[in-house]
Structure 1
Amino acid sequence: MRRIMVVGCSGAGKSTFSRRLGAALGLPVTHLDRLFWRPGWTRAPEEDFHAAQQEIVSSDAWVIDGNYGASMHLRLPRADAIVFLDFPRRICLRRVLVRCLREHGQDNQAPGCPERFDREFYSYVWRWPKDHRERTVRRLADQGAHARRIVLTRPREAAEFLRRIG
């Protein structure tokens, strides 16, 4: 595994998992939120977002965390492994709420984008299994069939996977 995508619902722990996976394998890690969001929670222009991803995926080794379904077609052909953190929504929602409380006002997700209470985002997390999961699964199957696919359904499985890798 040298080119790894990490996907899943917000709050599943993609960023933390990716940092640990990158450290264990000695691979550079990119968080798509940092490429997509500009200060003040402003979206990057699509061409800039895509160009930044193209530059990263053209290299020989990487871990990229984030879904951004509209640009998966840029990453999937080059990925040799896909890790899908397919956790229950109650875990994901709890984690985003705890993160908001813990990091409120801090811009850890993307520079200039402080953590804030956002009911619309919490609703998105709650609805993700119904509204987005199947589309993500289809994209991974259709465009990522060549890649090794690893589905982890509980935080304990993710921790065990990282322990075995390390």
Structure 2
Amino acid sequence: MELISSSAVHIRIELETPLLLAEKLNATVSNNWPSGEYDRDAMEFFLSCFENGGEASQGWYGWYAINIDPVSGERTLIGSGGYFGPPDSNGMVEIGYSVLPEWQRRGYATEIVNTLVSHASSFEKINSIVAHTSPENEASKKVLISNGFREVGVDDGNLRFEHVS
């Protein structure tokens, strides 16, 4: 799997001409895209963050998850993950992730979260990594726990998990 950091250009394509996203990513894009909570409102939010944050915001928002078939080399957009922005003043970042239904239960969410945690942990200014999921989402809870997160509370009805270093 390959993770590709999104940019303002990617998001503009998604919002204006979604069919061109496949060309930009050099990957097949399902008609079911986007997935999960990554919807038009989220895209517009991230685009605004890129436009206001400039180059410093690169890498601190969405990442596209591309599966690469080991035999054919075919590239397929299977999900996304990323951060809700650069670290705050306390050194905290929050991650989110989503995998298209047809690609779930194959370990991709675990791999996305693992990569996001590794990437964030490579920066000295990061002191904590958090994630949220609904109490009913057993699969997401398992993904977080298997990546070293522990449940630490509830925020607005969602479970709050924090990465344990």
Query: Which interval holds the TM-score relative to the shorter structure?
Result: 0.3 to 0.5
Per residue, is there more strand in 1 or in 2? 2
Higher relative contact order (CA 8 A, sep 6+): 1
* Structure 2 length-normalised TM: 0.32
